[in-house]
Amino acid sequence: MRFNAKLDVKMNRLTKTLSIVLMILANAGIAQAAGDAAAGKTKAAVCAGCHGADGNSMIPSFPKLAGQNERYFVKQINDIKSGARTIAAMTGIVAGLKEQDIADLAAYFASQPIKIGAVKADLLELGQKIYRAGNADTGVTACSACHGATGLGMPAAGYPALGGQQTAYVEAQLKAFRAAGRADESGLRRTNDGEAKMMQSVAGRLSDMELKAVSSYINGLK
């Protein structure tokens, strides 16, 4: 499915501009410990049951960690440790991790290639539209602006890689962000998206069908 060429050019320029700005801001932040991928491989044994030995989870509700950028991985683990992000199944596992352990795990999973899934044919057109162009009528920002045209994210800024991620997992996280951004919606709420609350704002404007479609599209994105 091809979209307007001018729109593609504008989106690419916007993505590049955001990448430069966010990289500058990220480099001004606090440095994290350097990770050792070889050491991380050994430490990742405890993660294999849910996330796969190489970070490619076979369980739809558990995220793939393979190919995830290190800055984002480190932030999420620290958020779980501090309670900023609630994942009951992870609380006991991360409690004993030291800064170096987290950095090593981040380096290991970042070095592993993610296994791409597939998008459902009937959701392709809408999913691609939302991911690449958003929805101007409802104020939904294109996912590609922060997560890249191919879903690789923005590592320097800590914006996560999405391409190939489990459909069910993406859908669950978007619903959690949406619930946090809507006072009238119940369910699991996810609020650890920074002071700007960008994900709460975007997900809060997604319809059920748009959310379902973009989640499926991301699974097949490469």
Convert the chain into a string of H (helix), E (strand) and C (coil): CCCCHHHHHHHHHHHHHHHHHHHHHHHCCCCCCCCCHHHHHHHHHHHHHHHCCCCCCCCCCCCCCCCCCHHHHHHHHHHHHHCCCCCHHHHHHHCCCCHHHHHHHHHHHHCCCCCCCCCCHHHHHHHHHHHHHCECCCCECCCHHHHCCCCCCEHHHCECCCCCCCHHHHHHHHHHHHHHHCCCCCCCCCCCCCCCCHHHHHHCCCCHHHHHHHHHHHHCCC
**For residue range 44-72, what is the model confidence (pLDDT) as tens digits?**
999 999 999 999 999 999 999 999 999 99
Q: Is the pTM of this model over 0.75?
A: yes
- For residue 30, name the pLDDT band (cuts at 50, 70, 90): very low
The region, left, alpha or beta by phi > 0 then psi within -120 to 50, assigned to residue 162 is alpha
CATH 3.30.390.10 fits 37-110, yes or no: no
CA separation for the pair 194, 71 (Å, rounded):
14
Whether pLDDT at 35 is above 60? yes
Whether pLDDT at 16 is above 80? no
Q: Which tokens in the block code for residue 71?
A: 């800055």
**For residue range 139-150, what is the model confidence (pLDDT) as tens digits?**
999 999 999 999
Q: Which tokens in the block code for residue 209?
A: 């069908």
Whether pLDDT at 32 is above 70? no
Q: Output the pLDDT for position 31.
A: 57
**For residue range 70-115, what is the model confidence (pLDDT) as tens digits?**
999 999 999 999 999 999 999 999 999 999 999 999 999 999 999 9
Query: Taking the domains of the chain in order of start, what are their residue ranges?
Result: 5-21+116-219, 37-110
- 161 and 147 in contact (C-beta within 8 Å)? yes
Q: Output the pLDDT for position 33.
A: 77
Q: Which fold has domain 5-21+116-219?
A: Cytochrome Bc1 Complex; Chain D, domain 2 (1.10.760)
Alpha-carbon torsion (171, 173, 178, 179), positive or negative: positive
- For residue 161, name the pLDDT band (cuts at 50, 70, 90): very high
CA separation for the pair 141, 131 (Å, rounded):
8
Q: What is the mean pLDDT of residues 184-205?
A: 94
CA separation for the pair 88, 90 (Å, rounded):
5
